Amino acid sequence: MKIALSQINPIVGDIEGNSKKIISIIKKIKADIIAFPELSITGYSPQDLLLKNNFINENMDALKKIIHNTRNKVAIVGFIEKAYENLYNSAAIIKNQQIIEIHHKICLPNYTIFDEKRWFKEGHEPKIFSLKGKIFGINICEDIWFPETTRNQKSKGAELIINISASPYRKGKVELIENIVKQRWEENKIPIIYVNQVGAQDGIVYYGHSMYFNNGKIIKKCKDFEEEILIVEI
């Protein structure tokens, strides 16, 4: 099974440009699953743009266009879902023009540059999905930093974890994320796919370093600070 790690540079607020890039990659990449970063439709972090209903609606319209372009494809896309007046930082698992599952980010960071509890409602149920007889767990950024979400997905039968992130750079961050992913692997002994964005927004720099981790080590990884589509075979 081939999984494409789409380490792209989504621009905050450029919903049209971001969705066009996502659709273009979906159309040209041949893989069983194509995974994009956290909030890849809106860019991270949209902050006060989340106060605008039109922005939320445009994000949903873009998701519908992406869904329409997934004939015979599976894509994981970060977007904002509005449900019962709450906003969720979400990952849509799209298969052959249908959403088959949505994961709401469970661990919302609320320190340093992050202020997610101001904007989003916490998710509560770690989600899994199946493809070609295999079960996958999907989670978002901070969910991988703590053991509970991955452990719960493993208990539900997950044989591989896919984490989509918008994780900014600071000194020592690359070594830190490698250690975090290694911890989750040691606890669960299942492969982990980590898909992070690159680029910069308002002085916040994203480092990429998307990777496929298994057997206690990095099997393949993307370049740091550059857009790259990396296909790994599981």
Active centre residues (catalytic)? 38, 105, 141
Burial 165-201 (b: 16+ CB within 10 A, else e): bbbbbeeeeeeebbebbeebbeebebbbbbbbbbbeb
Residue 214 has, within 13 A of its CA and on its CB side, a CA count of 13
Contact yes or no for 129/93 (Cβ under 8 A): yes
**H-run or E-run covering 218:** strand 217-221
**Secondary structure class of 181 (helix, strand, coil):** helix
Contact yes or no for 25/18 (Cβ under 8 A): no
Cis peptide before 45 (omega within 30 of 0): yes
